[in-house]
Structure 1
Amino acid sequence: MLRNREFRQFSILYFLIAAIAVIVGFIMNKEAGILAIVYSIAVGAAFFIFTKNRYKKISEISHQIDLVLHNAEQFFIGESDEGELSILHSEITKMTSRIREQNQGLKKEKEHLADSLADIAHQLRTPLTSVNLILSLLNNNPDETQRKAFLREAEDLLVRMDWLITSLLKISRLDAGIVIFQREQIEINPLICGALRPFLITMELHNIDLQIDVQKGMWIQGDEGWLSEAIQNIIKNCLESTGDNGRIEITCTDNPLFTQIVIHDSGEGFETEDLPCLFDRFYRGKNTNATGNGIGLALCKMIITRQGGTIAAKNHPQGGAAFILRFPK
């Protein structure tokens, strides 16, 4: 306590006042002087004990704060009686608890970042290895037909890598919170037709039957560019699942609460254990033959939910997968 400047100043002032009171008491008479001495000692002792207890509690709080700053697992501050110290105690408890939560959150984010980097490296390493192998085969293969086939395969791998990197950059922007979504009225029919445009040739080549049941004049609110991106990711997933001679149906319904878009394919659907994890980042499912990389659906969910909508996936009663998008009114 003596290291505290305010305590030293108060002690000196108290001893001066006590000395003056004792001197004045003895000037008056002997009994008054003795009474002044006893009173000064009693008040000084009470003040000393009270201050020592306060400093002890402050020291305990300081020790607990130090434990938090050094990432100790245990954290406890005992209860204090009502008063200024109790208020300080309560506020420090809130602060240290908040710091602990932030530290735990940062730790989880670091672990997630490390896992994500490992997944990204794995996703990029596979096509890079394939491209290097193709280049080696091109160098040693004089047959023109096979060289063209190798070049087409290398081009497909590079397109896949470009899509993967672009999607990862979009997810990073969404994670960082730097994307500002526009709030505008969007007519659903042109939105879906625009999202389908890049896949029309692929659908024709694979003989996929496309059925669209969306009435004109149905609207939703959101950012048209980003919502088109989300729908394209769903359609891409449906095309990969459907294969040749398949079918994709897109329907839209409306009610006073929300507008619903359902995208249904005629593929094999989902495994039951995959359903809870479909929109998790880098999740590819239990099927070892899965061709996806676990990015598209995760990006799709981020885009839709951050604009107030919801997305879910299930197995359709008629077979295949169904994606349900809902946008509140």
Structure 2
Amino acid sequence: MKYLRNQDVLHELLISFVIGIVCMVITYPFVGGYAFLFLFLALVLVGIHYYFSIKRYEQIAQLSLSLDKVLHGSAIRIDEQYEGELSILSDEISKMVIKLNEQTELLQKDKVRLTNAIADIFHQMRTPLTSINLSLTVLNDDHLSNEKALYYRRDIKKQLEKLQWLIETLLKMSKIDAKTAIFHRQEILVKDILTKAMEPFAIPMELKEQKCILNCSDEKMFVDDQWTMEAFSNLIKNAMEHTPDGGMIQLNVSENPLYTEVIVQDNGEGIPEEDIPYMFERFYKGKNAKPESVGIGLAFARMIITAQNGTISVKNHPDGGACFTVRFYKQII
């Protein structure tokens, strides 16, 4: 009887009953008592129609209940098999539920990843902030010599520069993650980008008596010059930090019909084999990482390169040292 409260079912019954009475009244003068037989047959047909309507509404109610469970967070699958239009509706709802479950799992993974990233960022920022706080405490000592005061001021400046670089890099990485970073790609000479990328390290390399050799002619690549220069700056910085005093860094450029390749090679200690698969992960520090390393330079470089139809890989060179290979593929027309 609960289905009689459904307005659609009630309207169908009333209309069918009225049509049956009207037909009986119209046909009674012609068929006499057989008119009641027609009414009986009409009522049988109405009953059959009512039965199948109930079955249909039960199926719809089951679908509605399943959707309600999904909306309340239950991960279920709709496996009921119906016929006709209900079968199509059930199939589409089942696809939607599967997709929602997949998106829920992805969101949960993103939530865990975001939580870990925030914890890593906090840890990376806490180190320079602690150093700054300690230096400021020492500077408050009235008996501190001028030489010591100058040392701590320089340390504060160094830590502030590290913080600034960390924040700016993380902001740029978040833009690439959100796909809001704008890359103005154009055909550029590789030597122009690499020369600019090497400039900030000229003095540090000179102090360490390191050489940076650029083997390049007129190769070109289709990239954004500023973003790409920043990527190579991180690779050169990484090579410089892992190259001993008096060592050498080589930038070898080549080009073919498919891609332009840049190899950044140093003659340092190389990379432990167990660290190679994780070198481009954010905040990952290998066994040979420097104490001041943050662990995002290589990850940032990879993000810039892959965002411009490029690839980057790393391996140890047979003669010693790490060897980073960057390839920018030709523009597809």
TM value normalised by structure 2:
0.92
Question: What does 1:168-247 align with in structure 2 at a 5 Å threshold?
Answer: 168-215=170-217, 217-247=218-248
Q: What SS does the aligned partner of 1:104 have?
A: helix
Q: Is the 8 A contact 1:67 1:75 kept in 2?
A: no
Q: 1:291 to 1:16 in 2, by over 3 A?
A: same
How many pairs were matched up?
A: 327
Does the 8 A contact of 2:78 with 2:90 survive in 1? Answer: no
Kept after mapping to 1: 8 A contact 2:78/2:93: no
Aligned residues of 2:77 and 2:94 also touching (Cα < 8 A)? no
The one-letter code sitting in structure 2 at the alignment partner of 1:211 is: I
- Stretch moving more, 202-211 or 61-70: 61-70
What displacement does 1:139 show? 2.2
CA–CA distance in structure 2, aligned partners of residues 250 and 213 of structure 1: 6
Amino acid at match of 2:62: E
Tell me the SS of whatever aligns to 2:140. helix
Q: Secondary structure at the match of 2:295?
A: coil
- Measure, in 2, the Cα distance between the counterparts of 1:15 and 1:153: 94
Amino acid in structure 1 at the alignment position of 2:37: L
Deviation at 1:138, TM superposition (A): 2.2
- 8 Å contact 1:61–1:77 — kept in the other structure? no
* Counterpart residue number, 2:77: 75
2:260–2:327 contact (8 Å) kept in structure 1: yes
Deviation at 1:164, TM superposition (A): 0.4
Q: Secondary structure, in 3 states, of the residue corresponding to 1:260?
A: strand
Partner of 2:107: 106
C-alpha contact (below 8 Å) 1:275/1:313 kept by paired residues: yes
Q: CA RMSD in A?
A: 1.8
Q: How far apart, CA to CA, are the structure 2 residues paired with 1:267 and 1:54?
A: 74
Instruction: Return 316-325 or 59-68, whichever deviates more.
Output: 59-68
> Aligned partners of 2:308, 2:197: CA distance in 1, in Å?
18
Q: What is the aligned partner in structure 2 of residue 167 from structure 1? A: 169
One-letter code aligned to 1:4: N
Tell me which amino acid in the other structure corresponds to 1:184.
Q
Identity across the alignment (%): 38
Q: How far 1:31 sits from its partner (Å)?
A: 4.9
CA distance in 2, matches of 1:70, 1:246: 63
Matches of 2:290 and 2:180, distance apart in 1? 36
CA contact (8 A) 1:60 1:77 kept: no
Matched ranges for 1:1-329 at <5 A: 1-81=3-83, 83-140=84-141, 142-215=144-217, 217-286=218-287, 290-329=291-330
**8 A Cα contact 1:195 1:229, kept in partner:** yes
Q: Does structure 2 retain, via aligned residues, the 8 Å contact 1:263–1:324?
A: yes
One-letter amino acid of the structure 2 residue matched with residue 117 of structure 1: I
Unaligned runs of 5+ in 1: none
Q: Distance in 2 between matches of 1:2 and 1:283?
A: 66
Cα deviation for residue 220 of structure 1 reads 0.4
Cα offset for 1:4?
Answer: 3.4
- The Cα shift of 1:75 comes to 2.3
Shift of the 112–11 alpha-carbon distance from structure 1 to 2, 3 Å rule, reads: same
CA distance in 1, matches of 2:90, 2:78: 11
Q: Which runs of 5+ in 2 are unaligned?
A: none
Tell me how far 1:52 sits from its aligned partner: 1.5
* TM-score for the superposition, normalised by structure 1: 0.93
- Call closer, same or farther: CA 1:123–1:49 in 2, change over 3 Å: same
Output one character per residue of 1:3-44: Cα deviation in whole Å (capped at 9) or x when no partner.
Answer: 433332222211111222233444433552243133223211
1:90-132 deviations in Å (ceiling 9; x for gaps)? 2222222222222222222222111111111111001100111
